[in-house]
Amino acid sequence: MPMENAGNLREDLDSLKGDLNQLRGDVVGMAQNMFGRGKSELHAARDRATHAVGDLGERGKQVLSDVQHQVEQRPMAALGAALGVGFVLGMLLTGNHGHKR
């Protein structure tokens, strides 16, 4: 009977060892899969950011061109607008809102 129990114990240990090896393989496979997905998502995010920066640069160039065209077409109106914006910004930045001190 003790030899039979020893045999069963050996079989159980061998089975457990096999199960642990399978589990290790499964965990490694899952980790590799998750790493691959994360890497793909990172590349996709980088590509989206690159395109967004490119689009933003193009929009900025277009706005600058439009402003330049408006200044060329109406220089006095542009000067008046610039003076008005400067005056408002000066009041906001200095804290002088028309109040006497």
CA-based angle 52:58:62, to the nearest 5?
Answer: 140
Largest CA distance in the chain: 110
Per-residue pLDDT at 6? 74
| SS3 assignment, position 6 | helix
Which parts of the chain sit beneath pLDDT 50?
A: none
Domain boundaries, the chain: 2-94
Q: Which is it for the CA torsion 13, 17, 18, 22, positive or negative?
A: positive
Specify the pTM. 0.47
Per-residue pLDDT at 68? 92
In angstroms, how far is the first alpha carbon of the chain from the final one? 105
